[in-house]
Amino acid sequence: MKKLYHLCAALAFSCLIINVASAQEDVIDKKVDSVMAKMTLAEKIGQMNQYNGDWEATGPVTKDVGNKLDEIRQGRVGAVLNIMGTNHVKTFQDAAMQSRLKIPLLFGQDVIHGYRITFPIPLAEACSWDVDMIEKSERVAATEASASGINWTFSPMVDIARDPRWGRVMEGAGEDPYLGSLIAAARVRGFQGRGLGNTDAVMACAKHFAAYGAAIGGRDYNSVDMSLHTLWQYYLPPFKAAADAGVATFMNSFNDLNGTPATASIYLQREVLKRDWNFKGFVVSDWGSIGEMINHGYAKDNYEAAQQAVSAGNDMDMESRSYINNLEKLVKDQKVSFSLIDDAVARILRKKFEMGLFDDPYRFINPQREKSSLNLPASQDVARDMAHKSIVLLKNDKQLLPLSDNLKTVALIGPLVKAKKELKGFWSLDIDPNENIPSVMDALQKQHPQTQFLFSYGCNIDDQSKAGFADAVATAKKAGVVVMVMGEAPDMTGEAKSKSNIHLPGVQEELIKEIVATGKPVVVIMMAGRPMVFNWTADNVPSILYAWWLGSQGGNAIADVLYGAYNPSGKLPITFPRTEGQIPIYYNHLNTGRPASGDKDVFYKSAYIDLPNSPQYAFGHGLSYTTFQYIDDDTYYTKTTLKDNDVLNISFTLKNTGNYAGEETVQLYIRDMVSQPLRPVKELKDFKKVFLQPGESRRVTFSVNRDMLMFYDDNLKLITQPGDFQVMIGSASDDIRIKRAFELTN
């Protein structure tokens, strides 16, 4: 009875919440209607137009810029981007307040990994598999950005990417749809905080819709050719997760998908997003992507491009000027209906109301708040912790790490030992020109004043000169341990930064060989925006840390990890190939008719004769200074069945068998043994992060349910099929420790 009472109370409460939310929506809809009733067609079209500010450009700037402030005064602009800082934002909002209807502007910005404080690049953060931490990281970014006048971020990028040649692999969460979906939702929650309307919340934007990450050959902006099944099964889930998390906006993408530019895709924008997913926010084009449909050969001119984009559900034009210059005529020519325009404008105005901008257009413009919100010590602490969690220990064969405090002399060698601003990586906002970011060397010297740190540059990042080798070797010989800091330059990954050769650049690997030849113990730290290829190092260097671009606190975080103040816990969210020829290589592939049983099988598994089948480092890989034992002591479990809404509990004991406290990310994969269409050899379906003291054990229980077994059939309907399944629990996709089988019955 008591239970029933609680149930009714809970139901009544959720009905109340739904009613309040829909009442609020009604109120906003009425306000939108009343503003729209006063708007001319030209003013409506103005709301659908977004310009780059004059400060910074993140794409090719449209010529004939004219006077943007004047255009804003004329009501010809609804949003701007790349205008930062309350002072600057105010100038633009002042102009909007001089327009006839005083409709406030939106201020968009690529807040991709932090605002004033730079956080690790998104791919690095994804290595944490820590969604709460990632949410926290975006909370800091949103708090800082909103204090600087920004109310809209073009983030998160939720594109699945299986190709590390693609420069934008750094902006996403890697190759897995399950992990990618959790992270997408966490980022949306982080940016939008307690909800739009709070002054510390910024609108998030799920991008790039869709399949941009699957550009053929990893070449940025390239075409995508993909079955709808693959699209739905692997590429759309993070977008759906972002939509479900309440993301305010979507951005479409530069690529064409199966012959239609995403910007003109009725299927993606009108049918999937707005109809099937009931998305109430608005869609912005990517930078100039409407105009680029002329280059695609899809539209004859901007007039035609504007018609195609607006019909497809693209509500706002970023920088191509196709809408502002053509929509009025398109309406007059009856090529575009009033209702299409009204739908787009209502979506945009609704967000402006939700953010409270009509009540106070200056609510994000408070210089006092800006001063007191940026670069706070507590926020730097979050950035440092996020950086800790983003580092992946790829290898620690001789337990060389952590370094001992007793070491008298350590040689620091390599082109990135003294990297400071470079630690921020691509897509960082250089807001404070005087920002002093500690390098790895700075941090080590500060933390270990009793140790002598010797330095030698060794070589540049990307040229063929070996002039510095001799000094590097001599320096190494003077030290007890050598730490080499190697990698890419920060502008080698990012937008328009695809590479055909993703080997560690220049002569860096040759330098590593020379230093290893001295016989000194060597630790290599790799900094990069993408998975790189470094096979000799992987085979011959005992300890390797992958440190990506870790942001403002990168130097400190690396120093913490080197000496064990933080025990690394990162796990790769993307497969590291042995060489470019293996790409695309990803863990959740199909079995094929000739699966390989090992690395050397000939005539099996579409392998290459000159390479093993396996990658260099598999999805989910990442070590710790301690060791974890998976004790398979679930005596109650025999092969069993799962039916209806049953749950299958699988337990085991995880024990920290090493000498350090540490965190393991226990991963659960499932395989559907027989299915139509085919299912992958394994798919991540759950994971748990477990922190254990040395010697401590904990019972870990996973619950498998029917939802985890669903997949898209040939008609793109989510289904389950009865039959045999395998559950695999382990430390990485290639390090499975516990297996179970069960049958799903109808």
Distances (CA, A) of 644 to 327, 620, 641, 679: 53, 31, 10, 21
Min CB(700)–ligand BGC separation in Å: 39
Q: Residue 663 corresponds to which amino acid?
A: E
Active site residues: 286
The yes or no reply on residue 58 touching ligand BGC (CB under 6 A) is yes
With beta carbons less than 8 A apart as the criterion, state whether 309 and 297 touch.
no
Distance CA 237, CA 152 (A): 23
Select from 154, 267, 576, 711 the one that contacts ligand BGC (CB under 6 A).
154
Which residues make beta-bridge pairs with 675?
none
With beta carbons less than 8 A apart as the criterion, state whether 88 and 350 touch.
no
Select from 130, 256, 286, 385 the one that contacts ligand BGC (CB under 6 A).
286
Min CB(154)–ligand BGC separation in Å: 3
Distance CA 63, CA 562 (A): 50
Distances (CA, A) of 458 to 411, 423, 541: 11, 19, 17
The yes or no reply on residue 222 touching ligand BGC (CB under 6 A) is no
Select from 43, 71, 110, 176 the one that contacts ligand BGC (CB under 6 A).
110
Min CB(119)–ligand BGC separation in Å: 17
Min CB(577)–ligand BGC separation in Å: 25
Q: Which long-range contacts (CB under 8 A, 24 or more apart) does 706-713 make?
A: 706/642, 706/644, 706/645, 706/646, 706/744, 708/670, 709/670, 709/672, 709/744, 711/233, 711/672, 711/675, 711/679, 712/229, 712/232, 712/233, 713/676, 713/677
Min CB(152)–ligand BGC separation in Å: 10
DSSP for 317-382, please give it.
EESS-HHHHHHHHHHHTTSS-HHHHHHHHHHHHHHHHHTTTTT-TTTT--HHHHHHHTT-HHHHHH
Select from 152, 282, 287, 619 the one that contacts ligand BGC (CB under 6 A).
287
Min CB(493)–ligand BGC separation in Å: 14
Distance CA 590, CA 682 (A): 9
Min CB(136)–ligand BGC separation in Å: 23
Nearest to ligand BGC of 46, 59 (CB atom): 59
Report phi then psi at 307, rounded to 5.
-65, -45
The yes or no reply on residue 351 touching ligand BGC (CB under 6 A) is no
Which residues make beta-bridge pairs with 701?
651
With beta carbons less than 8 A apart as the criterion, state whether 291 and 320 touch.
yes
- The site that binds ligand BGC (CB under 6 A) totals a number of residues, namely 9
Min CB(321)–ligand BGC separation in Å: 15
The angle at the Cα of 276, spanning 272 to 277, to the nearest 5 degrees, equals 90
With beta carbons less than 8 A apart as the criterion, state whether 129 and 665 touch.
yes
Q: Which long-range contacts (CB under 8 A, 24 or more apart) does 56-60 make?
A: 56/82, 57/82, 58/82, 58/110, 58/287, 58/495, 59/287, 59/288, 59/319, 60/287, 60/288
Q: Is 92 helix (H, G, I), strand (E, B) or coil?
A: helix
Q: How many residues does the chain have?
A: 746
Peptide bond into 388 cis (omega under 30): no
Nearest to ligand BGC of 113, 207 (CB atom): 207
Q: Which of residues 68-107 bind ligand BGC (CB under 6 A)?
A: 81
Q: Residue 715 corresponds to which amino acid?
A: N
Residues sharing a CB contact under 8 Å with residue 79, sequence separation 6 or more, in sequence order: 49, 50, 51, 105, 106, 107, 108, 152, 284, 316, 348
Q: What tokens appear for 489 in the block?
A: 């330059």
Half-sphere exposure of 315 (CA within 13 A, CB side): 29
Nearest to ligand BGC of 27, 496 (CB atom): 496
Peptide bond into 521 cis (omega under 30): no
Select from 207, 347, 351, 424 the one that contacts ligand BGC (CB under 6 A).
207
Distance CA 78, CA 104 (A): 8
Q: Which of residues 416-475 bind ligand BGC (CB under 6 A)?
A: none
Select from 256, 422, 495, 560 the one that contacts ligand BGC (CB under 6 A).
495
Nearest to ligand BGC of 112, 708 (CB atom): 112
Residue of closest CB approach to ligand BGC:
58
Distances (CA, A) of 438 to 435, 445, 560: 10, 10, 13
Nearest to ligand BGC of 252, 731 (CB atom): 252
Which residues make beta-bridge pairs with 413?
456, 484
Q: What tokens appear for 266 in the block?
A: 């009725």
Min CB(286)–ligand BGC separation in Å: 5
Nearest to ligand BGC of 59, 680 (CB atom): 59
Min CB(157)–ligand BGC separation in Å: 7
The yes or no reply on residue 315 touching ligand BGC (CB under 6 A) is no
Pairing assessment for the beta strands 723-732 and 662-672 based on DSSP bridges: antiparallel
Min CB(336)–ligand BGC separation in Å: 25
Nearest to ligand BGC of 161, 479 (CB atom): 161
Q: Find how far residue 480's CA is from the centre of its chain.
A: 39
Min CB(59)–ligand BGC separation in Å: 4
Nearest to ligand BGC of 215, 572 (CB atom): 215
Residue owning tokens 């009714």: 8
* Residues within the interface to ligand BGC (CB under 6 A): 58-59, 81, 110, 154, 207, 286-287, 495
